[in-house]
Chain A
Amino acid sequence: MIETCFGIGALDSTYAFAVAAVIGGFFGFFLEQAGFGSSRKLAGIFYFRDMTVLKVMFTALLTAMLGLSYLTAFGWVKAESLYLLPTVYGAQVVGGLVFGIGFVMGGWCPGTAAAGLAAGKIDALIFLAGAVAGSILFNEMFGFVAPLYSLGGRGVQFVYATLGMPKSVFVFAFTAAAVICFWCAEYVERKISGRGKYLFSPFLTVFSLCLLLLAWGLSLIIPPVSGEAGIESGIMADVDSGKDHVEPEELAARLMAGDKGLVLVDIRPASEYRAFHICGAVSMEMPRLAAYLAPHKNRGTIVLYSNGMTHPAQARDSLARMGYRNVYILTDGLNGFIARCLKPASLRDEPLTPEQAARVAAWRRRFLEL
């Protein structure tokens, strides 16, 4: 298991700053090596003259996606230790369109402009000044754009869940589409500007096959289950692998991060809820549960808890049969949350690392309102 700065809440530490600077160094180096220190080359994709942006960007995306998918499948890195950006449809559609216009107009995006400035491009400096001005403009008009900023917010959403397909199937389809794009890009370059030197090259052939093989190999590790027939076996598989659980630490981290896509439901009797509950939970007894959760079906993450695990597990299975794919139960229930997240370090049998102790202290402040 790899612990990340985000996972232990240390993204604002000096260590994280140093790591970010080094990572940024490699990022800038390879951006410039790829030719992204040139606005003319970057803008080329929009005129089908130079498709380098497509090749570099999708290769980078696939490399990281496949690498991370394997590491996650092997259990070396957990989703809870990664910072996941929420999906906000309105903001991302409008933001994407306006950003695209700015990109083709300026010939830069923020990261490449920083690399371009380093390569001596004065237009990159001008673009960066514009981007700073644009950020200030956004701040000044935030009251006006705030509704758009949160329009269509769905919390953390994975595209395969949104589309209702198994992850491994989506990964393979996405990889295959990208490989087809690479070959089309080479073909277009050869037709329009006489380049496209990797078209039918042994390099691109081998590279394409490697990507497809890696994407296919993932399906051997993550078995695909979908459709009506798959629901029951899917429930069984999730129960068997513990995928229907959310660990208390992950829940605490997501609550701390203010994850808007998280719906935390306390299914104990209302009297117990009033006596004590996890900050941010809503009280909902079992009979009214399905009606209450309907708007959240397959949107964001629903976490159910009780004192133990029996009732939430039964509710979760029932909801899964009704087509809910985003319902999780809290491992060891409220008792587990208290024992694992809120119990002071001093009262524990096993010693905690300083990072863990700091995390527990932060959780106690947040959830116990000390």
Chain B
Amino acid sequence: MDIPRISKRRPYMNPYVAGIMLGVTLLASFLTLGAGLGASGGLARVAAYLESRIAPAHTAATVYFGKWGPQPLRYYLVFMLGGIFLGGAISAISSRRFSLRVERGHACAAPRRIFFAFAGGVLAGWASRLAQGCTSGQALTGGALLLTGSLVFMACVFAGGYAAARFVRSQWYD
């Protein structure tokens, strides 16, 4: 009797087709919400919530998080971030790509990859607050709206990325 293969990862979608579908999603966001896609904005709201749980009086008195009021999670981008997680989970599970692991090169020890992931996260989180958005909210959304600052941001993301790439390449060595 044949034993059916239970775990076969499906290949990724044609990148141009995936791009069109993401573009249509962004267009739908413009036409319904009147605002584009965003991820770092939701994440910052989570950060504001966590800081206010630890130090309520201090957080309320800060200039940046303070202006979001006592309920920072009541914000559309927080719900969008939750949606991204759910949509990603549906896609990963239905395409049999879910696997619990630290993604890295075979020759890279896990702690090194963890360090880079955390340090990169700190820089990206900090920078997205400074620039009022990330690759989703600034580069993609603002780029589609042809906003000058968003396109400048996108160019600088690539400039910064390419400039730093060789210093962090060891995490992908096989």
Contact = CB atoms under 8 A, between A and B. Distances in A.
Contacts of B144: 60-61, 64-65, 68
B25 A21 contact: no
B117 A127 contact: yes
Nearest to A185: B15
A247 B28 CA distance: 25
Nearest to A197: B14
A115 B23 contact: no
For chain A, what secondary structure do more than half of its interface residues adopt (helix, strand, loop), or is it mixed?
Answer: helix
A200 to B, nearest CB: 14
B20 to A, nearest CB: 5
A58 B49 CA distance: 34
B125 A157 contact: no
Interface in A1-56: 2, 4-7, 11-12, 16-35, 37-40, 43, 45-47, 52, 55-56
Contact of A92 (B31, B88, B156): B156
Contacts of A28: 83-89, 91
B160 A100 contact: yes
Interface string A296-332: 0000000000000000000000000000000000000
Contacts of B122: 102, 130-131, 133-134, 137
A106 B119 contact: yes
Contact of B116 (A57, A91, A105): A105
Given A24-B82, A114-B85, A92 B149 contact: yes
Given A2-B31, A40-B103, A198-B16, A56 B22 contact: yes
A62 interface: yes
Given A98-B127, A105-B168, A119-B92, A85 B87 contact: no
A65 B146 contact: yes
Contacts of B119: 102, 105-106, 130
A59 B15 contact: yes
A64 B23 contact: yes
For chain B, what secondary structure do more than half of its interface residues adopt (helix, strand, loop), or is it mixed?
Answer: helix
A309 to B, nearest CB: 28
B16 A96 contact: no
A30 B102 CA distance: 22
Contact of B12 (A35, A57, A83, A97): A35
Interface string A108-142: 11111111111111111011111111111111101
A278 interface: no
A83 B84 contact: no
A324 B80 CA distance: 40
Contact of A46 (B34, B51, B121, B161): B161
Contact of A6 (B34, B92, B140): B34
Interface residues of A, number: 131
Nearest to B123: A102
A107 B120 contact: yes
A58 B85 CA distance: 23
Nearest to B20: A63
B63 to A, nearest CB: 5
Interface in A69-102: 71, 77, 81-89, 91-102
A53 B59 CA distance: 37
Contacts of A84: 145, 147
Nearest to B157: A100
A17 to B, nearest CB: 4
Contacts of B35: 4-6, 11, 82-83
Nearest to B113: A123
B126 A103 contact: no
Interface of A: 2, 4-7, 11-12, 16-35, 37-40, 43, 45-47, 52, 55-65, 67-68, 71, 77, 81-89, 91-124, 126-140, 142-143, 145-146, 148-149, 154, 156-160, 162, 167, 170-171, 174, 182, 198, 203-204, 207
10 contacts: A31-B84, A31-B88, A65-B145, A71-B31, A95-B131, A99-B156, A102-B119, A108-B117, A120-B92, A158-B147
7 closest pairs, A vs B, by CB? Answer: A130-B121, A106-B120, A24-B83, A63-B23, A100-B160, A59-B19, A96-B156
Given A94-B127, A110-B40, A139-B65, 10 more contacts: A23-B37, A27-B22, A43-B172, A57-B19, A68-B144, A68-B145, A107-B120, A132-B50, A142-B63, A170-B146
